[in-house]
Amino acid sequence: AIVMADKAKMDALSAIQDKIGEMVLNGTLEALPVPVRRRVVALKDLQAEHSELESKFLEEKKALEKKYELLYQPLYEKRTAIVSGAVEPEVKEEEAAPAATEKKEGDDVKGVPEFWLRAMRNHYMLNDMIQDHDEEALRALVDIKSGFLEGEQKGFYLEFHFAENAYFENRVLTKKYFMVEEDEPVLDHAEGTPIQWKQGKNVTVTMVKKKQKSRSGNKRTVTKEEPQASFFNFFSPPDVPSQEALENMEEDEEEELQTVIETDYEMGSVIRGKLIPNAVEWYTGEAEEDEGMDFDEDEDDEHEHGEDCDHDHDDDDEDEEEEEPAPKPPKGKKGKGGAAAAAGAAFAPGGEKDPECKQQ
């Protein structure tokens, strides 16, 4: 279930849990022989020392991560320059391809076209995010950057840098993850850049023509805008509801919301921790990503061919609306994710540990 509480409530709950733990410990100790009790107390003292060292370790680990993030930046900048075609790299003679005596197709290509699109397509989870109608816009993606949030804010950000394109005005789309704790994945909320779509170029929606039947029996055709799965839904993260709204939710609604929030966080973690550091290996297909790929074939067969599978797709005669597609961007592959896809995440889970979530 989703954990939602403000900081004061979380602190109070922690204090209560500590008190209960102390009472249980006292009861346990009282039941022990005195010599054994002394030894357990000594063990508790050792545990306290361990916790203190662990706290220092986490502080130094965070400082080390920030240090090396700065050291990585010059390498990422050189990568961007090569990908964009701003510079022509010097390659060792033994690594370079044999010199050609005649000009071949592609010799005049600038940089590495579609570098980030191809890298993401080669990662099975990110590939599920991308629909066919996203690809043209993603061809303008020239760099992805990440870093820690500044000041007292805890968390990280992702920046997607785009060349000028026919789809939106933004040159940079940002996604920020605000964490309650950085050492444990406790998510407060996420924020994304509002996309300034150009007229008729919003790939997160599709136009559908519907025939409506009035009570008098007359029919008319109307065009409605409906949401559709898209990579760019990533920049419209799900809102964390208030505690009151959460309490009024049905259990399945709460589970669905938890799935959406978790998959959104996981996608950010995958991009930050796997794609950005190893982008060229994802581009070439050398990177291995086996997590989450163990599927139960028997279970799949049961769903596809089992007796319990319901294939009844009869039309509802009582439905007063008949749909027919209007001209729209080419429809992409159906992304995985179930409820997450319907809610705009459309991403399969994986990557980092699922976060807990709290309401501000």
| Interval 277-312: pLDDT, tens | 999 999 999 986 544 444 444 445 444 444 444 544
Sheet holding 186-192, edge to edge: 141-148, 155-162, 172-181, 186-192, 356-357
Confidence of residue 16 (pLDDT cuts 50, 70, 90): low
Which has the minimum average pLDDT: 123-137, 155-169, 220-234? 220-234
Are the CB atoms for 354 and 259 separated by under 8 Å? Answer: no
Tally the residues of the chain.
360
Confidence of residue 50 (pLDDT cuts 50, 70, 90): very high
| The model scores a pTM over 0.75 | no
Write b or e for each residue in 207-245: b if 16 or more Cβ atoms lie within 10 A of its Cβ, otherwise e.
Answer: ebebeeeeeeeeeeeeeeeeebbbbbbbbbbbebbeeee
pLDDT (0 to 100) of residue 163: 95
pLDDT (0 to 100) of residue 244: 80
Spatial separation of the C-alpha atoms in residues 137 and 168, rounded to whole Å: 8
User: What mean pLDDT do residues 137-153 have?
Assistant: 93
Task: List pLDDT tens digits, range 81-117.
Answer: 999 999 998 887 656 655 555 556 667 889 999 999 9
User: What mean pLDDT do residues 170-192 have?
Assistant: 87
Q: Which residues 6+ apart lie within 8 Å of 139 measured at CB?
A: 113, 114, 117, 165
